[in-house]
Chain A
């Protein structure tokens, strides 16, 4: 069983990512919006880490034999043989059927899961294409063939998708470099809303906001970064680390976005407003 790619925007194969190589400079990678990725696999009865397609620019695939597929993540137009189909609902594709996912209306990353998971090349234990480290250099082109794994079980009828919203209230915990700031300055950073800027990508999301007061001039010793770490750049922007973030950085980490809310930030487009809610971990 294969899926034939007939049209493709920015689309990569993603799974749960690769662990155990960050000390050599290899990012964790994996789906940018983990919640939507896991939802796709749950709906199809797949094993939890099965690989899916992650697309920000639309994709069309043709099935070579009967299979189930599902679309989760960003809200987009989807059609099976030109007939509109729903999100978050397993779809039966007959051999020869064409599934086309196009214009994204809300969010960034759309997930196309297939029963059995995509069974392409693996590097360092994962199918995920890492845009920063260029691992699994597998550009999907028109005409690419994707191998599909063995069906695990019947698809589920329904599950609970996470609604995408415009104004994001993001849960954040203290970062390791708070000691570099006066407490008032740190509180000021997160009291006001910030605005998402820049093009969507898998490495980090950039936010513009109020002027930040900083007393220090010395740069930090390079330190490990984690998904969700919020770095304050010398230009006064915040950059939140996403799936393909560099493994080390040098700008102070003023907070860490909690995992579920990193998914929501990954799906935020330029202009989205972000407000912050402090949490203890």
Chain B
């Protein structure tokens, strides 16, 4: 999956049909999608419309619904787009801390590529306030925004066939924790024993859109 390395021009939010059974609110401002999701869930409940899923991306939100509810859903999305601005009040705030052992295979190469020491890489990562922008790639894989610009690097040219569950990584403007063993092209800084995904827990994902995250160094 490509990652955005450039912040493009901000377009005006737009609402459109996304096939017969989904509608999209696109071109949200950075950091607005989780808040917009809360508003959409609330308005959809009030309107008595059945939404199958309300999913967010980095700058967009999609509602899947029955084919004949498209107009109603798009009216709600237009309403929400008018009232979700960078200045609107923050939604429900949920903070978590994730304890990390910074011993990742790419810690040295990240420091080298960024022109700083490994100690500085760790400080920048632990000092940052991260927020889950959206989930994707795998169940429980959360894209965390808030990475300091100094640590912004393109993904590794050669992805690893296997990255261990609990690996704490960075790529482009994001940080993430691999919820399970999978292939991966991100730079590995360390690992955590926090369980990101447990299908028998409710909710199964530790990190959800809008969750605020701080990484704490384990000695």
Contact = CB atoms under 8 A, between A and B. Distances in A.
A25 B203 contact: no
Given A222-B1, A223-B58, A25 B19 contact: no
Interface of B: 1-6, 8, 16-22, 24, 26, 37, 52-62, 64, 67, 70, 134-141, 143, 180, 199, 203-205, 208-209
Nearest to B62: A224
Interface string A100-144: 000000000000000000000001100000000111000000000
A86 to B, nearest CB: 33
30 contacts: A19-B52, A19-B64, A21-B204, A22-B55, A23-B135, A23-B208, A24-B204, A24-B208, A25-B135, A25-B137, A25-B140, A25-B205, A28-B53, A123-B199, A124-B199, A135-B199, A176-B18, A176-B24, A176-B26, A220-B4, A221-B4, A221-B57, A222-B58, A223-B57, A246-B136, A247-B136, A248-B55, A253-B18, A259-B19, A281-B19
Contact of A249 (B1, B16, B19, B208): B1
Interface residues of A, number: 41
A23 B56 contact: yes
Interface in A207-238: 218-224, 226-229
A258 B2 contact: no
A218 B6 contact: yes
Contacts of A281: 17, 19-20, 67, 70
Contacts of A266: none
A250 interface: yes
Contact of A223 (B5, B53, B59): B59
Contacts, number: 141
A21 B4 CA distance: 25
A20 interface: yes
Contacts of B70: 281
A26 interface: yes
B170 to A, nearest CB: 16
Given A133-B139, A248-B55, A250-B2, 19 more contacts: A19-B52, A19-B53, A21-B204, A22-B55, A23-B37, A23-B54, A23-B55, A23-B135, A24-B204, A25-B136, A25-B138, A25-B141, A25-B205, A28-B52, A28-B53, A226-B18, A258-B20, A259-B20, A281-B70
